[in-house]
Amino acid sequence: MKSYCGDNPLHFKCGIDILENTFPDILNIKKGDPIIDNNKNIVSEVIRAVKDLNSSYLLIQGPPGAGKTYTSAKIILDLIKNKKRVGVTSNSHKAINNLLSQIEELAIEEKFTFKGFKKSSKPDDKLNGKIIDDLGSVKKDYDYTNQLFAGTAWLFSDARLNQKIDYLFVDEAGQVSLANTLAMSTSTKNIILIGDQMQLSQPIKGTHAGDTGKSSLEYLLSDYDTIPTNKGIFLDKTRRLNYKICDYISDSFYDSRLKPHEITKERHVKLQSKSIKDEGISFVSMNHLNCSQKSDEEVKEINSMMKAAIGKSCKDSGTTKERKINLEDILIVAPFNMQVNNLSRNLPKGSKVGTIDKFQGQEAKVVFISMTSSDPENLPRHKEFFFSRNRLNVAVSRAQCSTVILFNPSLLNASCSKINEMRLVNNFCKLLKFKINK
């Protein structure tokens, strides 16, 4: 790659820094020193670090509810105001559109306008923007007077964009392969990787050689659960999880670095239930037999608890008024599509049911998790899938107030022949320490 860069030492340097896995090159910060001062405003500190990038890269890890989309949008808008040309990309058009919508929302609030475009491949991928134009799949030369460019890896690996971008933001970088990241790095002087390696990884694994099939976050962070302070920035306040859920999530997945924001104290639910509590993690012990990918017993139990919860009181943040819980306030998660279909058929019409893959990025007041299988012998897939740390993290952390897990205790009798399997099962055992329906 260095030979491809030619005589200019800064040409494609951000890609080389990623490939060599060096510390980020930031002006006025010695390599290996902490990148930000955690005692100062986090958004201001991130903006400073991004502006001072010296043709390099920066990692930003955003745990559940930590506001990575909002933070990214604030940085991007600040860069555009300072006459920088910014690129926005991700593994999907849905993720790209989500970030672009947040950028537009902030720009409209601040009465600021700019020129930008997004390249889409299909009508369903289009952005219905108020400021940013969607070019669709039209093949034509790019207008370089635009301040914002958005699209997938196909756009930013186009030779016509070589070194045309000042800053490229890769959202959901934990789901973007290193190979694609390096290909896109040719378009930009600096690259910002935003994501969370502790949530869902790439939905489709590439066939790239060596480590290039890993996501850029996996490659740069190896076995770290959280970004070291000298390698990137960890957004340490969640505006979603109340302190009881946050304690488990932080202790189990984020080196105890994640803390609940004060705003989480403003919301609550009043379920008036004996079996589950209003905040934290509740267990509902199931004793079914021979269930593999489908459990009628768990469907019946969830249906009963849901009906009891609907119409009870809850309060949102930013208001003093209580309201009634409705279907929009509840998510139901299951590991297998067969159980998802079973739940969908039997729960009230309009219930939000799905696997973890459907709900990453979403949240609700109350989350029911149906673990479905009766015991290790009935697991339809390998233990690495069922007991996955990342999938457990995403499932539990969808809840603002109360997470309810339906779980057959026999599952904890799983025989572990590898150290990694012991670690995975241990995260479920750990839930018993944090449960609040004792």
Residue at a domain's end among 204, 235, 266: 235
Q: Are residues 221 and 324 in the same domain?
A: no
Q: Does 224 reside within a domain?
A: yes
Are 190 and 14 within 8 A, CB to CB?
yes
- Predicted confidence at residue 206, as pLDDT, reads 52
Q: Are residues 227 and 257 in the same domain?
A: no
Token couple for 423: 């670690």
CATH number, domain at 163?
Answer: 3.40.50.300
Residue at a domain's end among 235, 252, 271: 235
Q: Give the chain's domain count.
A: 2
Q: Are residues 213 and 270 in the same domain?
A: no
Residues 6 or more apart in contact with residue 229 via CB below 8 angstroms: 34, 35, 36, 38
Residue at a domain's end among 235, 263, 298: 235
- Predicted confidence at residue 354, as pLDDT, reads 97
Q: Are residues 288 and 400 in the same domain?
A: yes
Q: Are residues 225 and 341 in the same domain?
A: no
Q: Are residues 231 and 264 in the same domain?
A: no
Q: Does 1 reside within a domain?
A: no
Q: How far is CA 30 from CA 9, 40, 53, in A?
A: 19, 19, 12
Residue 103: which H helix or E strand, with range? helix 93-109
Q: Are residues 226 and 368 in the same domain?
A: no
**Structural domain boundaries enclosing 427:** 243-434
Mean pLDDT by 10 residues, the chain (438 residues): 55 93 96 93 96 98 96 98 98 96 98 96 91 82 93 94 97 94 97 96 60 86 94 97 96 97 97 93 95 98 97 96 98 98 97 94 96 95 90 97 96 90 90 72
- Predicted confidence at residue 339, as pLDDT, reads 98
